Amino acid sequence: MATEPTSSKAASLVGQEYEVEVGPVAHGGHCVARTEEGRVLFVRHTLPGERVVARVTEGREDSRYLRADAVTVVEASRDRVPAPCPFSGPGRCGGCDWQHAKPGAQRRLKAEVLTEQLAQLAGLTPEQAGWDGTVEPAPGDKVPAGEVPAWRTRVQYAVDEEGRAGLRRHRSHEVEPVDHCLIAAEGVTELGVERREWPGMATVDVAAATGSNDRLVVLTPRPERRLPLVELDRPVSVMRAEPTRGRGGEPTVHRVHGRAFVRERADDHTWRVSGGGFWQGHTKAAEVLVDAVMRGLIPRRGETALDLYCGAGLFAGALAQRMGEKGAVLGIEASGRAVRDARHNLSGYPRVRVEQGPVAKVLPATGITEADLVVLDPPRAGAGGDVVRRVAALGPRRVAYVACDPAALARDLRHFAAAGYVPRFLRAFDLFPVTHHMECVAILHPAKKES
């Protein structure tokens, strides 16, 4: 969401300050406010109901709206706490949007965002979506105000010119050096990446598996720079990524030492996830999502199912295990690396197949005309109308839509409604505590025909 056309000659308002009453939360980790002249501001580091001095960070005289940071809190919300992270705040690390909100308030803000997105983009009330209006914490994440759960098993550190590891500032390529990211899982923190220097590196990606001691770092050197000797505080596998992306847009990665993958445990199964490959980021996410999807779909023995955007095969494996030896599952996934992992992970199920390529291309090419169940877990942009229509045309008795973006979920629910599928129920999970992100699972079924 750009604030104005880049060609605009209008005067910049960056640095201008306005004292404002802060209105409701908006999707993206900010709240809406209006200046006395009626300008719309999207303000970070504030909460609904506060009175703050907001300093503009992006926007011009002719912009439809301005972005701003709350630099002084004149009247604080009762939901405000001092930010536990010393690297958060205006102009600092862009990772956590709600450091200054009590944990319960963070989940209420996310619920308000989901309510608003469902209404605006899908025309659904929470009741029509089958949602109880709450965002559920992951097991073990109910922390007291002022504390932060250490949930994140995948962290990409950016490295500055001086070789210091840090995280990116909000909407910027600049690096905020950090010596401890509070949301990083213990398995990440104990490696000590933040405590050493990374000369010549652009990024250091850490994966700390859940349920095994596997730890892997993928180093991306700056052009013409060589890898440093990697000495971390715990044993770790090391890979090197090419600075430019390879075929299919995936970074090419090479094993330097140790294993080229980590072993994750979820749903009583071990999953190989290669360096640079996707796995759910929260320590509990894979379990929470499999449980929600399986409770919603209630797979029966001998059924057929699709797992679209299947990654390393998490939902395909959970379905295959519950549908028995007569059940059949087809997974579709764009990343070649993830497809190799999924085929390896699912090799114990003879009636599971994984095809590589974009869902929009591969699904029609499979020639499949029906399926009992479909799981979709698309990237942030969502699946889109074409894929949704193709899914509905298969006539599944239930569909599970796993969404990491509430706006994409709402848009795709509208496409599903047009194709004859409506939500039976919806759950929202706080699988990204302290950030503005959330994960949703919608279970859809065919709409009853009007008689």
Ligand X SMILES: C[S@@+](CC[C@H](N)C(=O)[O-])C[C@H]1O[C@@H](n2cnc3c(N)ncnc32)[C@H](O)[C@@H]1O
When binding is defined by CB under 6 A, the residue of 205, 377, 430, 439 that contacts ligand X is 377
C-alpha Rg value of the chain to the nearest Å: 23
96, 181, 310, 404: the active-site residue: 404
280 is in an annotated binding site: yes
User: Least distance in Å: CB of 276 to ligand X?
Assistant: 11
Choose between 47 and 266: whose C-beta lies nearer to ligand X.
266
The yes-or-no answer on residue 310 being catalytic is no
When binding is defined by CB under 6 A, the residue of 47, 135, 181, 359 that contacts ligand X is 359
36 is in an annotated binding site: no
CB atoms within 10 A of CB 448: 7
Identify the sign of the CA torsion 362, 249, 166, 81: negative
Smallest Cα–Cα separation from 239: which of 293, 277, 183?
Answer: 277
Smallest Cα–Cα separation from 41: which of 74, 10, 19, 11?
Answer: 19
Chain-centroid distance, C-alpha 22: 27
Residue 346, token pair as written in the block: 């699912």
Choose between 8 and 212: whose C-beta lies nearer to ligand X.
212
CB atoms within 10 A of CB 197: 12
Choose between 315 and 429: whose C-beta lies nearer to ligand X.
315
User: Least distance in Å: CB of 323 to ligand X?
Assistant: 17
The amino acid at 185: A
280 binds ligand X per the rule CB under 6 A: yes
116 is in an annotated binding site: no
Half-sphere exposure of 24 (CA within 13 A, CB side): 10
Report the alpha-carbon distance of residue 188 to residue 154 in Å, rounded.
Answer: 8
Binding to ligand X, residues 244-263 (CB under 6 A): none
Binding to ligand X, residues 303-342 (CB under 6 A): 309-312, 314-315, 332-335, 338
224 is in an annotated binding site: no
Binding mask 422-441 for ligand X (x = CB under 6 A): --------------------
- What 3-state DSSP class applies to 58? strand
User: Least distance in Å: CB of 410 to ligand X?
Assistant: 17
278 binds ligand X per the rule CB under 6 A: yes
Q: How many residues bind ligand X (CB under 6 A)?
A: 18
CB atoms within 10 A of CB 260: 20
User: Least distance in Å: CB of 271 to ligand X?
Assistant: 8
Report the alpha-carbon distance of residue 351 to residue 324 in Å, rounded.
Answer: 10
User: Residues forming the annotated binding site for S-adenosyl-L-methionine?
Assistant: 280, 309, 333, 377
Contacts with ligand X, residue ranges (CB under 6 A)? 278-280, 309-312, 314-315, 332-335, 338, 358-359, 377, 379
User: Residues forming the annotated binding site?
Assistant: 280, 309, 333, 377
